[in-house]
């Protein structure tokens, strides 16, 4: 047996077992009919004569398992259990039940070097080009498509009717009415969008084109066709100017000029990059320290971490309107393949967590209730939640303490 696994036997006997058998009898008796007695009214000795005491063992065992689990924890408070215990029934008879709990214990962690690591934090630099790109993106977000009377050009949207013909016969899927086509989007086959440039509202044109050789439709790939097109309307993008109306629509407090906006965008990019650089720095610190840290990680800890990752993945898929079954179908895989892909990342996460916990222990890092409560209040305020509601969602004050301990351990690694 692995040194990280411990088996503990817990007996439930005496009055507690008698009460459990009595509970199981009342439950079973209410469901059976015995000749000469109303349903549920047969005496216990009559019931046992017909069905035997053995028929009560399963329900009686279920009735006391939580009590046995609590007793096991109370008698082994010194053990650091890191995974859900496995429980088996070792023995059961009319005198009692004996459970065998198989516990996975926290493995020994042999820390290597975790201070003065040869990891350099990247410098945060925001370029003028990045600010201009952000400025253009902001303008694009407020760009409107406006009807125009002139010719179609690159970037315009043409509202068209079209129908495709091969050898003079209309083919399936080649027809559309009032279709909005952005010129330059490469949505249609090569030559289609380019062929509309220069047309105006009301114009018609026959486009003689050839489907690509790699087109998925076997009947059309490589074939010459004619698209009959009519332009119903043309729209062009109108980008706003930096004027009072634009800044009112923007709704950013204190931003009233292009210079103000550029300054704010620079600060936003700076803040985002600082977070990215900090996260990269922490990841590199953890990876460097992990190289010299020795841990024999129990497989069950890795599997439980994969379970958490799968649940998070499912939540992310739900936000996209997908189930994990649909994802597996689209990717021609299954959940086991997904678990296999996640195993390396799960192993790394568990190792980092155990390593940080050992640093907390070695450095004697302690978080007081006052510190944890202050942190909870600040986070609740940040997320506009009541403190009690936030604590319930976060997992209680102990989880706040744990999070602060992990951050403190990382700060030690930065030294």
What is the pLDDT, as a whole number, of residue 344? 96
φ, ψ for residue 33, nearest 5 deg: -115, 125
Are 272 and 367 in the same domain?
yes
pLDDT tens string 207-253: 999 999 999 888 899 999 999 999 999 999 998 888 888 888 888 88
Are 333 and 198 in the same domain?
no
Are 171 and 81 in the same domain?
no
* Residue 188, domain member (yes or no): yes
C-alpha dist (Å) from residue 374 to 371, 391, 411 = 5, 12, 19
What is the pLDDT, as a whole number, of residue 1? 55
Helix (H, G, I), strand (E, B) or coil at 118: coil
Radius of gyration, alpha carbons of the chain? 35
Are 101 and 232 in the same domain?
no
Domain of residue 269, residue span: 258-414
Are 295 and 408 in the same domain?
yes
Are 219 and 330 in the same domain?
no
What is the pLDDT, as a whole number, of residue 241? 85
Asked if pLDDT for residue 345 goes beyond 80, the answer is yes
Are 364 and 265 in the same domain?
yes
DSSP β-bridge partners for residue 98: 11, 91
* Residue 100, domain member (yes or no): yes
Are 270 and 410 in the same domain?
yes
* Residue 253, domain member (yes or no): no
What is the pLDDT, as a whole number, of residue 163? 95
Residue 234: partners with Cβ closer than 8 Å, 6 or more residues away: 147, 148, 149, 150, 151, 152, 156, 157, 158, 159, 200, 201
**Domain boundary residue among 180, 207, 238?**
238
* Residue 282, domain member (yes or no): yes
Are 399 and 271 in the same domain?
yes
Question: Which tokens belong to 187?
Answer: 């949505």
Where residue 367 sits, what CATH number does that domain have? 1.10.3120.10
| Strands 157-166, 144-148: pairing kind | unpaired
Average pLDDT of every residue of the chain: 93
pLDDT grade for 2, boundaries at 50, 70 and 90: low
Q: Is the pTM of this model over 0.85?
A: no
Asked if pLDDT for residue 16 goes beyond 60, the answer is yes
Question: Which tokens belong to 308?
Answer: 């958490």
Where residue 86 sits, what CATH number does that domain have? 3.30.70.1050
* Residue 131, domain member (yes or no): no
| DSSP string for residues in 204-219 | EEEEEEE--TT-S-TT
pLDDT tens string 232-244: 999 999 988 888 8
% of the chain beyond a pLDDT of 90: 77
């Amino acid at each position: 047996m692995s040194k990280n696994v411990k088996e503990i036997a817990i007996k439930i006997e005496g009055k507690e077992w008698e009460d459990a058998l009595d509970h199981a009898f009342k439950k079973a008796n209410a469901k059976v009919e015995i000749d000469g007695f109303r349903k549920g009214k047969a005496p216990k000795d009559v019931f046992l004569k017909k069905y035997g005491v053995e028929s009560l063992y399963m329900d009686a065992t279920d009735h006391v398992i939580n009590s046995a689990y609590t007793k096991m924890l109370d008698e082994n408070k010194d053990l650091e259990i890191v995974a859900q215990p496995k429980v088996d029934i070792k023995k059961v008879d009319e005198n009692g039940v004996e459970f065998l709990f198989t516990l996975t214990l926290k493995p020994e962690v042999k820390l290597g070097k975790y201070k003065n690591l040869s990891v350099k934090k990247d410098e945060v630099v925001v370029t003028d080009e990045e600010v201009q790109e952000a400025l253009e993106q902001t303008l694009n977000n407020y760009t409107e498509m406006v009807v125009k009377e002139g010719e179609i050009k690159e970037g315009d949207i043409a509202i068209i009717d079209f129908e495709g013909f091969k050898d003079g016969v209309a083919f399936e899927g080649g027809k559309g009415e009032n279709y909005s086509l952005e010129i330059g989007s490469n949505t249609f086959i090569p030559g289609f969008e380019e062929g509309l440039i220069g047309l105006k509202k009301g114009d018609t044109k026959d486009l003689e084109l050839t489907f690509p050789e790699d087109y998925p439709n076997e009947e059309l790939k490589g074939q010459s066709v004619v698209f009959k097109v009519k332009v119903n309307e043309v729209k062009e993008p109108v980008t706003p100017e930096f004027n009072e109306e634009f800044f009112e629509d923007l709704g950013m407090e204190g931003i009233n000029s292009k210079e103000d906006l550029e300054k704010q965008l620079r600060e936003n990019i700076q803040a985002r990059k600082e977070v990215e650089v900090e996260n990269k720095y922490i990841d590199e610190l953890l990876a460097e320290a992990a190289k010299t840290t020795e841990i024999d990680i129990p497989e069950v800890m890795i599997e439980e971490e994969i379970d958490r990752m799968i649940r998070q993945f499912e939540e992310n898929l739900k936000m996209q309107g997908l189930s994990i079954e649909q994802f597996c179908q689209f990717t021609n895989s299954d959940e086991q393949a997904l678990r296999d892909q996640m195993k390396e990342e799960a192993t790394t996460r568990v190792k980092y967590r155990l390593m940080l916990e050992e640093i907390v222990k070695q450095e004697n890092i302690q978080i007081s209730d006052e510190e944890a409560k202050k942190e909870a209040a600040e986070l609740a305020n940040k997320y506009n939640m009541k403190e009690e509601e936030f604590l319930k969602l976060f997992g209680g004050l102990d989880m706040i303490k744990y999070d602060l301990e992990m951050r403190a351990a990382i700060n030690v690694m930065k030294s």
